[in-house]
Amino acid sequence: MAGGQGRAGVIWRQMPLSFRIGAVILALHLVVAVTGPFWAPYGYSQMGAGRPLSGISWQNLMGVDQLGRDVFSRVVHGSHIVILMSLSGTLLGLLVGATVGLFSGYVGGWVDVVIQRLTEALISIPFLVLALIAISAAGVEAAGNPVLVVLVVALVYAPRIARMARATAIDIATRDHVTVARLRGESAWSVMWRELLPNASGVLLVEFALRAGYAPVLIGSLGFLGFGLRPPSPEWGLMISENRAMLIVSPVLVLGPGLMLASLVVGLNLFTEGLARVLGRTVRLGTR
Amino acid sequence: MAILRMIIGRIALAGLTLLLVSLIVFSMLEVLPGDVASRILGRDATPETLALLRTELGLNDPAVLRYLHWIGGLLTGDPGKSLVSQRPVTDILGPRIFNTLMLSAYAFVLYLPLTLIPALVQAIRRDRATDHVLSVITLVLLSLPDFLLATILLMVFVIYLPVLPAISLVDASSGFWEYLRAMTLPALTLAIVMAVYAVRMLRDNLIEVLDSDYVRMAELKGLPARRVLLRHALPNALVPTLNVTALNLAYLVGGVVVVEKVFSYPGFGSLLVDSLQLRDLPVIEATVMIAALVYILANLVADVAAILLNPRLTGG
Amino acid sequence: MTGALMTVEGLSLAYRQGPNWQRVVEDVSFAIAPGEVLGLVGESGCGKSTVALQLLGYRHPALRVLAGRVTLQGQTLTGLPRADLDRLRGRRISFVPQNPTTALNPGIRIGAQIEEMLAAHAMPRADTAALFDLVGLPPDAGFRRRYPHQLSGGQQQRVCIAMALACHPDLVVLDEPTTGLDVTTQAQIVTLLADLRLRLGMSMVYVTHDLTLLSQIADRVGVMYAGRMVEIAPTATLFRAPRHPYTQGLIASIPGADGDGAKGQPLPGLLRREDLPPGCPFQPRCHHAQPACASAVQPMHNIGPDHAVACWRWDSLPPQPATAPTPDQRDTGNPAVVLAVQGLTVAYGHAAPVVREVSLTLGAGETLALVGESGSGKSTIARAISGLIAPAAGSIALRGAALAPLVRARNPEQRRLVQLVFQNPDASLNPRARIGSILRRPVDCFFPTDSPHSEGLVVQALDAVRLEASYAGRYADQLSGGERQRVAIARALLARPDILLCDEVLSALDVSVQASVLDLLQRLKHDSGIAMLFISHDLAVVRLVADRIAVLFRGEVMETGPTAQVFAPPHHPYTHALLQSVPRPLQRPQPVASRQTGPSQPNINGCAYAARCAWKVGAICDTTRPPWQETPQGLGLRCHLPLSDLTTLAERTPVENPA
């Protein structure tokens, strides 16, 4: 046991600094997300937690909003919502995007042309605009539903991940070990499963981490514009939007959710950058 | 000739993509399950108003016909009338697009120095403290959502250091300085968001080029350091950054949606949000098509520029 | 050494690797006399290029000079301010890079790249045309306005050489200047350098991994191993009486192109930077090593005129390189034809065909070599045979049955019988699969009934290529290049093929490793009677393995016949040029019987080789396709000249054997 810990320690120390800092930040966020609902001082919609807009105090670490709700408790309750929606949306986007992209890149021909045109068309609608029209297309009944937000994140990410996976598949497919498999007469699925996927996994992992890093921003933007979750949900973007109305009176109210959102994304970005370095890849952080 | 054919090919592909976008947008907004009329009217719909609206919108026609009618209108410059105000969509869009163009131009002017200066400093001082500090700053700024960055800038320049207006309302009667003052905060937000993305890439490109064989060769030829940097390294590092600038232009189209909303700036982005809330379909569709058009054009220009700038393709 | 042009004293260098500094060069000293050519030789990663760059005072954020200094006639370069260095670089010491394609700025015209250098050193710009002429490039303004990508690799290297000579430097540092080039181009560049040196009288430091090449051009040779100089001696002395075990191993690993059938002896083991002993770095691979070698740092011992060696046991070791092994015997008979290629023509897209009407036959157990420079269509032929590209015309028959053009239309048995081994084993092994599972695939695919005991078959296959059974659990990146190529061969053998297509299987490997893989292939040929199509640009290697040879030029067979016949007159003019450009130890280069490589278009009507032919008859060569002529000994070639004339011409400029 001690030996195992020792080895883990050695590996940990060999990781890039950005990876280690990112991992610590992420771990803290995960702890808050999992345990937060049990120790948060107030409920997320519990009013009367303090005098509305009374500022920071020991009772209310991040202030009290205009409805008298404790911002700190709301932020803590929001944590698992944001993280769960981000991860599941990105994962869904990865599954769809990677399968479509790898297949289209390896098979080529007219299948590839059609898929590639469709993904290009989806990508050319700015991602926030695509998310907004998708939500309004879903209609009034679905508005504010977390499942809708998750599906929208996947819709926005899948074509972008597919483009990346396709380029990777084309690159790997020209390598000699794939040619060897083709010369043996192996089926397209067997080649994808044995030769492409294991070699694309590094790229896909980094792509997943990168996209997961921006999912909270996308979800926050939707909430901020009033197209995401509905009040009284403690989703951070929505909170920033609500508390922004009181910016002149109590500017501190936007800092709580803002700090949580920013630190989560910083953590994910650092983690992604470090991960990419470990896997010997380059990554372009950013939403484009 | 081969180049001309290549460029024409790119333009044709861009046209095809735009056509596909129109299909996607139309089917998402008008064909997907759920009745358009009830979506527009929302919860207050009565059977009578629904029936009325359906006839008015021509919803009883088959979808293919409606699509052809719509796309025909777009191509002839007639995207229809607003459902809410009954004014022609072109009249509504015109001033909004003008405002957004002004804002984008302003943001772009701020973007260039915000990109070039830190990237050059980082590349020259690579792996030293200056480089590391700038790297951390860009990483943190890169991780801030644009609405949060806008809110923070608002706090700083409006509340703690009250020099700029919180709300950037302008109209046709506003003078030039009024415009400029109103646009400063949204433009700065957009410029920072674009610059942090480009700085990291330009720094990496510069360092890669500085490590290239031909820069080493230029140094070993005895050329002075400044000539090596400006004549041999920078031009070759800027070419890939061109692509980033196209991506940034494309970002602008989406970025203005949030940033204009934060500052209540009457541009094209806030129009999209407003008409989505009002479910004003003709305006939404026209706005989305314009956003996609800008994105596709930005990428087309970058593609063509990369072809023209590559001596391998132009042959001199 | 007094009156030295440049001296290097106790140079130690380190590279940054993450947070640590890795020592890459350790206490290297040497001097260069005016007009002297010093060669630096060693395996990749031995630090020779790093040392060469220090001769120009090169600095990089990730490189640190730990100790020592470099002086140019009394002026110390180490630590000199950048502005002062700029005055020396290019003017007094200049540099020729390894890869001219990446060393020329892609966005600047070649003329301008030289002119900016002349301007920086206040030299007249008008010199550019004369410089182009000097290095054998067209001096006209139109050519000088070209961009680097519009030039061939050889021309790009000539531009770099012109640049290096532009300011009449005292010393030219050449970092592997011919490694990236074709054999024929390589020979032309070496000839040019030898010629320039005679005419201009400057000193040179020539860095390479190719000892044979140094023997032709260098006055003295320094041998480096793992960042240390292990032996330095005048060239002739080094070849006749190498003292360091590493030098002896290097010399023994050179395959001879001469007729004695000598093949290279592999150097055992592999240079592993991470576990070097504190003493002699070569100790882990040395035949003569003693335990004490691992701890005792080896200083240089002066053992003769200009001869120093870093081995304390130098006088107790035999001064001879390891002896050549017994020549290979070949049984010639008339074997059954397993593969017949008839009139094969292959084109990519609508371009001119890269392979034109090629006909070949391969008998059971026979090895046929396809020889030619890059772009001659050798690999395309292999791709067509294996079904990766459909021929435009012609047929391929396996054991008398025609093969479908593309692999997906062939039946499993046909796919099994033809196996391809690629040039680069790094790319041909899936990096994310264990060797065992890579080797199990052909068994699962072709012999599903054997799948249950595939473990045993894998171990057998590993054993057949002289690898331990434990390798099955490793990943490709845990193997050396030579080991990976063995695995690739083992994978091909597990399909129990009739024919092995070997596409440049040696050229991605270090010289010392090539010999061991070559040895393996020869053994396979004897033991399993497999037929091989051996594709190579290296005549020295081909001579060792091939029963018959086909010489290709621009996709056409120029000459074909039994190996001994191809190496003896009469030769096709192109074969003759190829034979003359094979580097031989201790032989000064001679002008290659081939004219300037022009960017000529493929000649559809006449002879493909006409534009480069040194023995061109006249207009007939450009207009009429030459006839196919055969000798009674089974040699065939395509030329307008009668065979008797070809014999005379070949004997007038014979391919010399070394003394």
- For B186-229, write each residue's pLDDT tens digit: 999 999 999 998 998 889 889 889 888 899 999 999 899 888 98
Taking CB atoms and an 8 Å limit, are C117 and B231 in contact across chains? no
Q: Which tokens sit at A168?
A: 């990777």
Residue C221, pLDDT score: 94
Sheet strands side by side (includes C401-402): C355-363, C337-346, C393-398, C401-402
Q: Report yes or no: C567 and C543 within 8 Å, Cβ to Cβ.
A: yes
Q: Does residue C534 have a pLDDT over 90? A: yes
Max mean pLDDT among A88-97, C11-20, C150-159 falls in A88-97
User: Nearest CA of chain B to the CA of C598: how many Å?
Assistant: 19
Residue C588, pLDDT score: 55
Which residues 115-134 of B have a C-beta within 8 angstroms of C? Answer: 126-127
Taking CB atoms and an 8 Å limit, are B17 and A120 in contact across chains? yes
Residue B313, pLDDT score: 65
Q: Report yes or no: C106 and B214 within 8 Å, Cβ to Cβ.
A: yes
Taking CB atoms and an 8 Å limit, are A121 and B20 in contact across chains? yes
Per-residue pLDDT of C67-114, as tens digits, reads 999 999 989 998 889 899 999 999 999 999 988 888 999 888 999 999
Residue C602, pLDDT score: 53
Residue C581, pLDDT score: 75
> Could you tell me what percent of chain C has a pLDDT over 70?
89
Residue C504, pLDDT score: 87
- The confidence band for C205, taking pLDDT boundaries of 50, 70 and 90, is very high
Chain B CB contacts of A133 under 8 Å are: 25, 28-29, 276, 284, 288
Q: Where are the beta strands (DSSP E) in C133-290?
A: 171-175, 203-208, 220-225, 228-234
B88 SS3 class = strand
Lowest-confidence pick of A140-144, A192-196, B246-250, C6-10: A140-144
- The confidence band for B46, taking pLDDT boundaries of 50, 70 and 90, is confident
Q: Report yes or no: A149 and A222 within 8 Å, Cβ to Cβ.
A: yes
Q: Report yes or no: C622 and C602 within 8 Å, Cβ to Cβ.
A: no
Residue C334, pLDDT score: 56
**Count of CB atoms within 10 A of residue C337's CB?**
16
Q: Which tokens sit at A52?
A: 């509305």
Q: Report yes or no: C144 and C138 within 8 Å, Cβ to Cβ.
A: no
Amino acid at B207: I
Task: Please give the residue of chain A at the shortest CA–CA distance from B253.
Answer: A126
Length of chain A: 288
Q: Does residue C49 have a pLDDT over 80? A: yes
Q: Which residues pair with C170 in a beta bridge?
A: none
- End-to-end, the C-alpha distance of chain C in Å comes to 31
- The confidence band for A116, taking pLDDT boundaries of 50, 70 and 90, is very high
Residue B11, pLDDT score: 92
User: Which of C388, C429, C441 is the closest to A184 by Cβ?
Assistant: C441
Residue C196, pLDDT score: 87
- End-to-end, the C-alpha distance of chain A in Å comes to 45
Residues B208, B229: Cα–Cα separation, whole Å: 12
- The confidence band for C533, taking pLDDT boundaries of 50, 70 and 90, is very high
Q: Does residue A79 have a pLDDT over 50? A: yes
Q: Report yes or no: B313 and B3 within 8 Å, Cβ to Cβ.
A: yes
Name every residue whose Cβ is closer than 8 Å to that of residue C328 and which is 6 or more positions away in sequence.
Answer: C261, C263, C522, C544
> How much is the average pLDDT of B150-173?
77
Estimate the crossing angle of helix B234-262 against helix B268-278, to 10 degrees: 40
Q: Does residue B79 have a pLDDT over 80? A: yes
Residues A171, B265: Cα–Cα separation, whole Å: 45
- The confidence band for A27, taking pLDDT boundaries of 50, 70 and 90, is very high
The residue with greater pLDDT, A212 or B312, is A212
- End-to-end, the C-alpha distance of chain B in Å comes to 14
Name every residue whose Cβ is closer than 8 Å to that of residue B94 and which is 6 or more positions away in sequence.
Answer: none
Lowest-confidence pick of A91-95, B9-13, C59-63, C487-491: C59-63
Q: Is the ipTM of this complex over 0.90?
A: no
Q: Report yes or no: B281 and B83 within 8 Å, Cβ to Cβ.
A: yes
Per-residue pLDDT of C354-392, as tens digits, reads 898 899 989 888 999 999 887 788 889 999 999 988 898
What is the distance, to the nearest Å, from the Cα of residue C493 to the centroid of all Cα atoms in its chain? 26
Q: What sign results for the dihedral spanned by CA atoms C137, C143, C148, C149?
A: negative
Residues C229, C252: Cα–Cα separation, whole Å: 19
Taking CB atoms and an 8 Å limit, are C150 and B316 in contact across chains? yes
Residue C256, pLDDT score: 59
Residue C257, pLDDT score: 47
Taking CB atoms and an 8 Å limit, are A262 and B148 in contact across chains? yes
Task: Please give the residue of chain C at the shortest CA–CA distance from B233.
Answer: C105
Residue C327, pLDDT score: 36
Residues C257, C266: Cα–Cα separation, whole Å: 16
Residues C547, C561: Cα–Cα separation, whole Å: 9
The residue with greater pLDDT, C75 or C19, is C75
User: Which of C58, C104, C150 is the closest to B220 by Cβ?
Assistant: C58
Chain C residues whose C-beta sits inside 8 Å of any chain B C-beta: 53, 56, 58, 60-61, 82-83, 85-91, 94-95, 97, 99, 102-109, 116-117, 120-121, 145-147, 149-150, 160, 163
Q: Report yes or no: A251 and A262 within 8 Å, Cβ to Cβ.
A: no
What are phi and psi for residue C258, nearest 5 degrees?
-80, 170
Q: In chain C, what are the helix, strand and coil shares in percent, each to the nearest 5?
A: 35, 20, 40
Residue C271, pLDDT score: 65
Residue C576, pLDDT score: 87
Q: Where are the beta strands (DSSP E) in C323-366?
A: 337-346, 355-363
DSSP state of C473: G
Residue C613, pLDDT score: 84
User: Nearest CA of chain B to the CA of C344: how many Å?
Assistant: 31
Residues C11, B112: Cα–Cα separation, whole Å: 45
User: Which of B212, B220, B231 is the closest to C89 by Cβ?
Assistant: B220
Measured at the alpha carbon of residue B267, what is the angle toward residues B266 and B271, in degrees to the nearest 5? 85
**Residue showing tokens 């026609």:** B61
